[in-house]
Structure 1
Amino acid sequence: MCGRFAMTKETDELITEFVAEGGDFRNWRPSYNLAPTQTIPVLLEAAKGGAEVVRRLEPARWSLVPTWSKTLKLKYPTFNARSEDLASKATWKGPLKAHRALVPATGYFEWQTFADGTKVPHFIHHPAGEQLMLAGLYSWWRDHTVTDEDPNAWTLTATILTSGAVDELLHIHDRNPVMLPEEWWDQWLDPAVEGTQELVDAAVTAALPVANALEVYEVAPIPFRGNGPALIEPVMALEGTEDWLSTET
């Protein structure tokens, strides 16, 4: 699974990098500790206010809420979506058809569980520092308790796809996010491409080389509220230091 990740680039950098239009990012800052329900940047393609499809980088609530839900907070977790049966699940099959997204990440955290119950956090990223692009889905949720004029009437929500872990990561966890190579970005985002289980399965296969090339190392315990570059430093690099953790959210 993918329950925490880091995204350390400014939105202007991402907009330029992906040749995208930008949304309202007033409430988002680069973070080394993004958790479910927090705001994350997502890359998507859609027609907004017209017939022309444009590529946009938008802030989204990390936990997808389907359009038919009456509440924003669901009783079950939706920050991850299992790729194996995506097209058959009511929560995912609607967004899969044409509301697919990419979630940029510097890297993500995973906890290795030992026989005695101890859980040790690790940071997983590209060894050359390249951006990871995690396959995702998005959905616009409408709050019907307010009027259309209310700025909070619509909330963009998103989820990250996961698949069975590759052998190189299996000792850490049995799942990993689906990380798409660049040659797959356009196809995954294109709303004219029908989202089917076959498309998902092909995307998972295409993502294998990316996952196989990642670097993994142990990091210090990660508090729920905490931020700063030290969170993604190897444990060995932090030995003997003090006051390394920022408490900013």
Structure 2
Amino acid sequence: MCGRFAMDDRVNAEISDFVETTGRRPEEWRADWEAAYNIAPTEDIPVLIDSAKDRELRFSHAHWSLVPGWSDTLKLKFPTFNARAEDITTKATWRKPVQSHRAIVLARGYYEWQGPKGHKTPYFIRYPDGQLMGFAGLYSWWPDRTKAEDDPDRWVLTATILTSDAVQTLADIHDRNPVILPEDMWLHWLDPSIVGDQALVDDAVRAGVAEASTLQFDQVAPFNSREQGSQLLEPVAS
């Protein structure tokens, strides 16, 4: 699973560079991303999507938990911050987003905990060179019906992160890991003209296995749910 992750503000320049290399231009960004080192479900996360309407790449903030447009409330009774990749197209919540509403959730790395309850040891999992990480995700636009139809804040972008069985090198820490896509697969995953199906998801999982096998994991100091700061990423001296 992926229940906590970190993203610093370097992503703003990195995504600008990425979009420039594609020859595309980004749609006007809602806001620059401010560094956050302890991101939890239902908080804002940085995402990249490909707008089906005008085919422009959009880097934006999203509510971390996918909420279908038919829901009356932004808070669902069941968790939707992660989506299991296995048989994902058979699940009503994910079926339509898989088809054309796919996202890249951007991260510097993510946390997992190991050990008995009350004495769990946190680990931070990242690329060895600290490069930008892109999780395969899905998104949905949720309408806040308490706001007027012409209110620009009426539509809330929401997103989830796909997970798969953990690769062998990470299995001792957790039995699931996020599906991490290499950068050269991002545009293909995002492309709304490609009708997503289980085969597309399975291809992403296979690529994610190769990526996850290259990750390093470092024990970090315990921290509480509200702590922030780059010190959370620092490995504990052995």
TM-score bin, normalised by smaller chain: over 0.9
- How far did residue 182 of structure 1 move? 1.9
Determine the C-alpha separation between the residues in 2 that align with 1:211 and 1:33. Answer: 21
Structure 2 counterpart SS, 1:179: coil
Match of 1:168 in 2: 169
| Cross-structure match for 1:54 | 56
Partner residue, 1:135? 136
Counterparts in 2 of 1:22 and 1:227: CA distance versus 1, 3 Å = farther
Residues 142 and 158 in structure 2, CA contact (< 8 A), matched pair in contact too: yes
The equivalent of 2:43 in structure 1 is 38
Match of residue 245 from structure 1: none
Which residue is equivalent to 2:8? 8
Task: Please list every run of at least 4 consecutive aligned residues from structure 1 whose deviation after the TM superposition is greater than 4 angstroms.
Answer: none
Separation (CA, whole Å) in 1 of partners of 2:3 and 2:76:
16
Counterpart of 2:92 (choices 48, 70, 90) is: 90
- Measure, in 2, the Cα distance between the counterparts of 1:78 and 1:176: 15
Q: Secondary structure at the match of 1:172?
A: coil
Alignment partner of 1:169: what SS? coil
Confirm whether residue 23 of structure 1 aligns to residue 24 of structure 2: no
Amino acid at match of 2:129: A
Task: Summarize the alignment of residues 129-208 of structure 1 with structure 2, pairs less than 5 Å apart.
Answer: 129-208=130-209
Q: Is the 8 A contact 2:3 2:41 kept in 1?
A: yes
Which residue type is aligned with residue 232 of structure 1? L
| Aligned position for 1:235 | 236
Give the CA deviation at 1:218. Answer: 0.7
Q: CA deviation at 1:149?
A: 2.4
Give the deviation of 1:113 after TM superposition: 2.5
Aligned to 1:71: 73
Deviation at 1:10, TM superposition (A): 4.2
Check conservation: 1:15, 1:22, Cα contact below 8 A.
no
> Which residue type is aligned with residue 87 of structure 2?
D
Q: CA 1:191/1:47 → structure 2, altered by over 3 Å: closer, same or farther?
A: closer
Closer/same/farther in 2, CA of residues 69 and 146 from structure 1, 3 Å limit: same
Deviations 1:136-169 (Å, cap 9, x if unpaired)? 0000001123211223311000000000000000
Distance 2:148 2:196 in 1: 32
**Displacement after TM superposition at 1:17 (Å):** 2.4
Q: Is the 8 A contact 1:6 1:32 kept in 2?
A: yes
Q: Percent identity?
A: 53
In the TM superposition, residue 173 of structure 1 has moved relative to its aligned partner by 0.2
Distance of 2:84 and 2:204 partners within structure 1: 13
Q: Relative to structure 2, which stretch is displaced further, 14-23 or 88-97?
A: 14-23
After alignment, is 94-103 or 148-157 more displaced?
Answer: 148-157
Range with bigger deviation, 116-125 or 216-225? 116-125
RMSD: 1.6
CA contact (8 A) 1:7 1:105 kept: yes
| Structure 1 position 206, deviation (Å) | 1.2
- Provide, for residues 57-83 of structure 1, a one-character-per-residue CA deviation record: whole Å limited to 9, x for no partner: 011111110111111110111110000
Q: Distance in 2 between matches of 1:130 and 1:119?
A: 27
Q: Give the gaps of 5 or more residues in structure 1.
A: 238-249
Q: Which residue of 2 aligns with 1:240?
A: none
Asked if the contact 2:11/2:132 (under 8 Å) is kept, the reply is no
Q: Given the superposition, is the C-alpha separation of residues 197 and 161 from structure 1 closer, same or farther in structure 2, using an over 3 Å criterion?
A: same
The residue type equivalent to 1:133 in the other structure is G
| Cα distance in 2, alignment partners of residues 112 and 141 from structure 1 | 35
Determine helix, strand or coil for the equivalent of 2:186. Answer: helix
TM-score, structure 2 as length reference: 0.92
The residue identity in structure 2 corresponding to 1:38 is: E
For 2:133 and 2:208, locate their aligned partners in 1 and report how far apart those are by CA, in whole Å: 11
